[in-house]
Chain A
């Protein structure tokens, strides 16, 4: 829908110029109650999201002795992320990066198909604001009652309602902040510690911080977070095109709008009776009839409101609808020569364009999404539970022994991601007859030596490799360290070099 936004000079000059103000008082939004498909969907997702958020830290997932049994645990202190069967070590942080990339591209894809459903349904700001509004409505009543309350006297009833509302908000905010910290520590222990005063300063800080932000952002700031603070509304337009579903007012059907008395004919006028129900229910307080705008979070509550009105006045639903700009434009073109009124509907119906789901933009998003998902799955499937890294000594690069043989020293780091202590046999390939010895266990020197690896950790060993007496060695020999586990299989290997003096 293209709107003519040019200034009309004649009108402009006719208006006296009031003083410019740089800062404005907030116009408080009083969203009215509404019923309908979108409202039900919004509540359904709200319940789902909150149930997931509040219960997830309490779900258990046994991992064996000594390991945390929390299903989802972001253990920063222990440097491990536990996501069900997946365990992420610091060096595997790319898995987390991949997860974030998946979320971002998933968001792009959903936006290009269905517009701002994230903003309208899934964003925490929306979810908690909706929950807070529901409480507000239960205590202070619907839109008109709330407006009357705010303008009315500051009597006992006023204070009782306000105090109850804010108290409930604070309780929910505290539960929200409290639940947040349960994701980074053992939930049952943390809850006990929080209430007995035993929890750490950081725990209380984060509980306080999240309590404060939840209360402020969902209770007071609300739509201002979306319009003034959030960057997403600014650039989400880049993901949308004329084939994306957005909440649209079908101007070709609604205009010219105006009041309508029962029994009057609908010919020669639009279906919009200017009842302002769409404005009243809007959580961001905008008029959807002004077209696509930054403040619209795409929740579709105005569609519910308008449909209810259309049912009441006996006009077909869908004056405000989830529609693509391409369809709106096609209909607009088709009805250009038809006078306003019910006659336009069949004409537009005939010109109706179905939304194109398959288009370059969605294909690219879906393609990148699948690619990243495939790479992540591959990384997860081939994740090893044993890693070996070999650091060669550089000062000195080799040592000459009294019998004339050459010795090199290495620091071997064995990463054992399992939860059992393991012992590996260390083998060396590439240097026949070499003797291995580990510091602290020199008496078991030989062609293969046992090396211990503690559970769920990194164990460091200094290992000496001595070439046999009289061996003729090049300056540099490539050698391979191999770790053989208890069952005789090779767990992992790592390459390095063995250096000898120049001849």
Chain B
């Protein structure tokens, strides 16, 4: 409470009556309109609280007279986004894959959308950049393709998958377990011959022995020069890329008891437009043929 209101001799103004360590303050009142603006903001807040969601209750909250919610805003915005995209999706569905790749607008739309779809669906096995993962998840960005790297090949693989039971058209191939067909010695000889494709054979005698075994058992799927046969999904053995490792031990292990990866079919799980976008996207990652 003000203690002693005095009149300042010089200015003729009154003090507020407060004193702090001998310092007194002149009473310089704010203008009235300032006060009215404060009242206006109070009224504004009351009206606002009435119109929009405001007060909490025991089992919910007061929703406001207008019934506005942010969730509805989001639903409306999302619907607007879907509507806005619809014509582009339609164009993607009705376009040839090569057309999508050649049309800058379609290509930009396809790669931008597919980047997200890839991250959601493909990245767990193939890596966020399509670089693959150790242990049989192939890289999609190099120039080595087991089942083919053209747009159509990629789209087919995405649609039907590999070695799965769900899709009748899935790409199928089965490498026998040679541990039950060939002797340990024979397997080592074949491995030596396979190493000779990349000039890494150390035992010329063993490699020569392995050549005939290779010709009898392996040529059909891996080709005479180890170049691979894509029609049956036989990987190339004459390059620097090895799905299950390229060392002597890893090759021997793969011949004896082969590991073979499985990829699910995406047809039916993903929209046709998304599959096409993904095919184009994977094709642009650096290995497309």
Residues of A whose CB lies within 8 Å of any CB of B are: 3-5, 7-8, 11-13, 15, 17-18, 20-26, 224, 228, 290, 393-396, 399-404, 407, 409, 439-440, 462, 464
Q: Are B131 and A404 in contact (CB under 8 A)?
A: no
The verdict on B33 contacting chain A, using a C-beta distance below 8 Å, is yes
Q: Which residue of A lies closest to B123 (CB)?
A: A395
The answer to whether residues A20 and B14 also contact, given A395-B129, A464-B286 and a CB cut-off of 8 A, is: yes
Q: Are B31 and A224 in contact (CB under 8 A)?
A: yes
The answer to whether residues A7 and B32 also contact, given A396-B129, A409-B286 and a CB cut-off of 8 A, is: no
**CA distance in complex: A265, B47 (Å):** 70
Q: Are B31 and A228 in contact (CB under 8 A)?
A: yes
Could you list some 8 contacts between A and B, CB below 8 A? Answer: A5-B8, A5-B10, A5-B11, A7-B6, A24-B30, A401-B143, A401-B144, A409-B141
Q: Are B131 and A7 in contact (CB under 8 A)?
A: no
Q: Are A23 and B29 in contact (CB under 8 A)?
A: yes
Q: Are A399 and B29 in contact (CB under 8 A)?
A: no
A4, A17, A393, A407 interface centre (most CB from chain B within 10 Å)? A17
Q: Are A395 and B30 in contact (CB under 8 A)?
A: no
Q: Are B240 and A402 in contact (CB under 8 A)?
A: yes
Q: Are A12 and B7 in contact (CB under 8 A)?
A: yes
The verdict on B155 contacting chain A, using a C-beta distance below 8 Å, is no
The verdict on B81 contacting chain A, using a C-beta distance below 8 Å, is no
Q: Are B127 and A396 in contact (CB under 8 A)?
A: yes
Q: Which residue of B lies closest to A464 (CB)?
A: B286
B25 to chain A, nearest CB (A): 11
Q: A20-B2, A402-B142, A402-B144 are in contact. List 19 more A-B contacts (CB 8 A).
A: A11-B9, A17-B4, A17-B6, A23-B35, A24-B30, A25-B31, A26-B33, A395-B127, A395-B129, A396-B127, A396-B131, A396-B139, A399-B142, A399-B286, A400-B142, A402-B143, A402-B236, A402-B240, A440-B284
**CA distance in complex: A367, B32 (Å):** 45
Q: Which residue of B lies closest to A15 (CB)?
A: B7
Residues of B whose CB lies within 8 Å of any CB of A are: 2, 4-11, 14-17, 24, 27, 29-35, 107, 127-129, 131, 139, 141-144, 236, 239-241, 284, 286
Complex interface: chain A residues within 8 A of B27 (CB): 20-21
Q: Are A4 and B30 in contact (CB under 8 A)?
A: no
**CA distance in complex: A41, B34 (Å):** 34
Complex interface: chain A residues within 8 A of B32 (CB): 23-26
**CA distance in complex: A23, B9 (Å):** 22
Complex interface: chain B residues within 8 A of A3 (CB): 10
B73 to chain A, nearest CB (A): 18
Complex interface: chain B residues within 8 A of A404 (CB): 239-240
**CA distance in complex: A4, B31 (Å):** 28
Q: Which residue of A lies closest to B236 (CB)?
A: A402
Q: Are B9 and A24 in contact (CB under 8 A)?
A: no
Complex interface: chain B residues within 8 A of A22 (CB): 29-30
Q: Are A393 and B14 in contact (CB under 8 A)?
A: no
**CA distance in complex: A433, B27 (Å):** 84
Main secondary structure of the interface of B (DSSP, over half): loop
The answer to whether residues A23 and B34 also contact, given A395-B127, A396-B141 and a CB cut-off of 8 A, is: yes
Q: Are A402 and B239 in contact (CB under 8 A)?
A: yes
**CA distance in complex: A228, B32 (Å):** 12
**CA distance in complex: A20, B11 (Å):** 16
Q: Are B35 and A399 in contact (CB under 8 A)?
A: no
Complex interface: chain A residues within 8 A of B33 (CB): 26
> Of the candidates A23, A399, A439, which one forms a contact with B131 in the assembled complex, judged by CB atoms under 8 Å apart?
A399
A5 to chain B, nearest CB (A): 5
The answer to whether residues A23 and B30 also contact, given A7-B6, A409-B286, A439-B284 and a CB cut-off of 8 A, is: yes
A481 to chain B, nearest CB (A): 18
A296 to chain B, nearest CB (A): 15
**CA distance in complex: A403, B240 (Å):** 6
Complex interface: chain A residues within 8 A of B141 (CB): 396, 399, 409
**CA distance in complex: A13, B2 (Å):** 15
Of all A-B residue pairs in the complex, the 10 with the closest CB atoms, nearest first, are A395-B129, A396-B131, A402-B239, A404-B240, A12-B6, A24-B29, A15-B7, A402-B144, A8-B9, A17-B5
B115 to chain A, nearest CB (A): 12
**CA distance in complex: A393, B141 (Å):** 12
Complex interface: chain B residues within 8 A of A25 (CB): 31-32
**CA distance in complex: A337, B241 (Å):** 106
Complex interface: chain B residues within 8 A of A462 (CB): 284
**CA distance in complex: A402, B16 (Å):** 89
Complex interface: chain B residues within 8 A of A440 (CB): 107, 284
Q: Are B6 and A26 in contact (CB under 8 A)?
A: no
Complex interface: chain B residues within 8 A of A7 (CB): 6, 8-9, 15, 24
Complex interface: chain B residues within 8 A of A400 (CB): 142, 240-241
Q: Are B128 and A395 in contact (CB under 8 A)?
A: yes
B60 to chain A, nearest CB (A): 34
**CA distance in complex: A8, B10 (Å):** 9
Q: Which residue of A lies closest to B26 (CB)?
A: A5
**CA distance in complex: A16, B27 (Å):** 16
Complex interface: chain B residues within 8 A of A290 (CB): 11
**CA distance in complex: A362, B144 (Å):** 72
A229 to chain B, nearest CB (A): 10
**CA distance in complex: A21, B13 (Å):** 12
Complex interface: chain B residues within 8 A of A439 (CB): 284, 286
Complex interface: chain A residues within 8 A of B128 (CB): 395
**CA distance in complex: A393, B17 (Å):** 71
